[in-house]
């Protein structure tokens, strides 16, 4: 087996396609994601303001919007049509409208409003803009009402309770800074490990004559070792460079990484076993690896998918890997919580048994 392994290493040196997919491209992919997630958080999303009142109170609202984290007023427009054109031109993400007589209504105790026109075409920017403008509008409205009651002789606390009898104290668990990089970087980087493991293992198996189990293991081993090293670098980048929280067990995460690589190698063996050609195996492997992202439920939860797709989502080791990663890295779960997910991943290791004779 050791001799076969050495032969495989020699093959990596000789075969530049193998070497490129095994070493060069994965490193390039990791560098890409490090650069991509180097900017922390979503800030200064450009929006337009249609201030129909142009009063000191409406300017106060504008100042409050300017001081929010995510939003920046880049355009002052004179009509809603002008605002809509800015949105359609891609220059502004939203338009905030302050109506006529805003100040007069506020001061005379009449009801007025602050309106936000959001596009909805990007859920992440939409959420950040909505959150900030709603906070400004609610805080401003409550402030005006409290001032009004205080002017009538009410104490601040009583005025506050009158205006807002119940306050909601929000505690964000597991990703307190609401950092998108913490959320997306682990998923995308692990996805790269999956793609390269699957593709490279298929290629390695096609270039080698499998005569025994030892030969099969030796053929897969260079990919296993290289991807293990790469995934260790990935973990260092995630926790050490990007700053993803690590609240649980790094041992379980390392085990999950190893299982991710081994399970996708087992899937690669299955595809080689059932495919007639390298092209077909690569096409199958490519399709299978890429769709795992959607069906991991990471961006759109599996619970919201149709039942048949919920079952389908269990056919990807990546789904279990992401469960483990979130549990251990971000949620700080006890180690035994992840054992069932690790167990499911281990089931994939039996796949080669079904096709071994066809290799």
Q: Nearer to another protein by C-beta: 23 or 349?
A: 23
Residue from 11, 52, 69, 127 binding another protein (CB under 8 A): 127
Distance in angstroms between the alpha carbons of the first and the last residue of the chain: 18
Residue from 119, 217, 233, 239 binding another protein (CB under 8 A): 119
Q: Nearer to another protein by C-beta: 300 or 354?
A: 300
In degrees, rounded to 5, the angle at the alpha carbon of residue 316 between the alpha carbons of residues 197 and 124 is 95
Residue from 173, 209, 350, 357 binding another protein (CB under 8 A): 173
Restricting to residues 280-309, name those near another protein by CB under 8 A: 280, 282-283, 286-287, 289-291, 293-295, 297-301, 303-306, 309
201 to 11, 192, 331: CA distances (angstroms): 13, 14, 33
223 to 66, 189, 190: CA distances (angstroms): 51, 17, 15
Q: Nearer to another protein by C-beta: 15 or 224?
A: 15
- What is the C-alpha to C-alpha distance for residues 278 and 272, in angstroms, rounded to an integer? 8
- What is the C-alpha to C-alpha distance for residues 332 and 347, in angstroms, rounded to an integer? 25
Q: Does 54 bind another protein (CB under 8 A)?
A: no
Smallest distance from another protein to CB 290, Å: 6
Restricting to residues 79-118, name those near another protein by CB under 8 A: 84-85, 87-90, 93, 105-106, 109-118
Report residue 262 as tokens. Answer: 């081994």
Which candidate, 107, 105, 127, 108, places its Cα nearest to that of 116? 127
Report residue 34 as tokens. Answer: 């490090």
For residue 283, how many other CB atoms are within 10 A of its CB? 13
Residue from 126, 150, 225, 254 binding another protein (CB under 8 A): 126
Smallest distance from another protein to CB 212, Å: 26
> Edge-to-edge strands of the sheet including 94-98?
71-77, 45-51, 94-98
Restricting to residues 4-23, name those near another protein by CB under 8 A: 16-17, 19-21
Restricting to residues 22-51, name those near another protein by CB under 8 A: 25, 29, 32-33, 35-39, 41-45
Residue from 81, 158, 314, 358 binding another protein (CB under 8 A): 158
Smallest distance from another protein to CB 2, Å: 28
Q: Nearer to another protein by C-beta: 26 or 317?
A: 26
Q: Nearer to another protein by C-beta: 76 or 280?
A: 280
Q: Nearer to another protein by C-beta: 110 or 350?
A: 110
What is the pairing mode between strands 71-77 and 45-51? parallel
Residue from 165, 209, 350, 357 binding another protein (CB under 8 A): 165
Smallest distance from another protein to CB 353, Å: 27
Restricting to residues 55-74, name those near another protein by CB under 8 A: none
With H, G, I as helix, E, B as strand and everything else as coil, classify residue 272.
helix
Q: Does 130 bind another protein (CB under 8 A)?
A: yes
With H, G, I as helix, E, B as strand and everything else as coil, classify residue 98.
strand
Number of residues counted as binding another protein (CB under 8 A)? 120
With H, G, I as helix, E, B as strand and everything else as coil, classify residue 40.
coil
Q: Nearer to another protein by C-beta: 2 or 165?
A: 165
Q: 44 near 68, Cβ under 8 Å?
A: no
Q: Nearer to another protein by C-beta: 214 or 331?
A: 331
- Residue position matching structure tokens 């959420």: 127
Restricting to residues 193-252, name those near another protein by CB under 8 A: 195-196, 199-200, 203
Which candidate, 171, 122, 164, 157, places its Cα nearest to that of 141? 164
Which candidate, 180, 146, 175, 148, places its Cα nearest to that of 163? 146
Report residue 84 as tokens. Answer: 């809509």
Smallest distance from another protein to CB 231, Å: 15
């Amino acid at each position: 087996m050791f001799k076969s392994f050495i032969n495989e290493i020699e093959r990596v040196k000789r075969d530049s396609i193998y070497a490129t997919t095994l070493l060069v491209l994965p490193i390039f992919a990791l560098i890409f994601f490090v650069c991509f997630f180097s900017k922390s958080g979503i800030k200064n999303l450009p929006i337009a303001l249609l201030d129909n009142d142009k009063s000191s109170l409406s300017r106060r609202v504008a100042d409050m919007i300017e001081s929010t984290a995510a939003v920046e007023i880049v355009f002052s427009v004179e009509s809603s049509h002008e605002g809509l054109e800015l949105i359609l031109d891609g220059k502004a993400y939203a338009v905030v409208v302050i109506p006529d007589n805003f100040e007069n209504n506020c001061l005379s105790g009449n009801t007025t409003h602050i309106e936000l026109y959001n596009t909805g075409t990007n859920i992440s920017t939409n959420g950040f803009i909505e959150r900030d403008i709603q906070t400004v509008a609610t805080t401003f409205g409550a402030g005006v009402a409290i001032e009004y009651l205080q002017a009538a002789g009410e104490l601040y606390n009583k005025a506050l309770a009158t205006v807002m009898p119940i306050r909601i104290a929000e505690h964000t668990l597991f990703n307190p800074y609401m950092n998108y990089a913490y959320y997306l970087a682990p998923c995308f980087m692990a996805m790269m490990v999956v793609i390269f493991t699957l593709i490279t293992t298929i290629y390695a198996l096609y270039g080698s004559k499998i005569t025994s189990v030892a030969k099969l293991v030796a053929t897969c081993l260079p990919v296993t070792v290289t991807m293990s090293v790469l995934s260790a670098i990935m973990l260092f980048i995630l926790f050490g460079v990007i700053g993803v929280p690590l609240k649980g067990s790094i041992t379980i995460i390392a085990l999950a990484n190893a299982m991710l690589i081994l399970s996708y190698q087992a899937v690669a063996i299955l595809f080689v076993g059932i495919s007639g050609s390298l092209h077909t195996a690569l096409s199958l492997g490519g399709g299978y690896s890429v769709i795992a992202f959607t069906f991991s439920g990471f961006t759109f939860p599996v619970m919201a998918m149709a039942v048949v797709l919920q079952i389908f989502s269990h056919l990807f080791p990546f789904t279990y890997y992401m469960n483990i990663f979130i549990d251990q890295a971000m949620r700080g779960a006890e180690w035994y919580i992840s054992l069932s997910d690790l167990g499911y991943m281990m089931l994939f290791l039996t796949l080669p048994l079904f096709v071994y004779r066809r290799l």
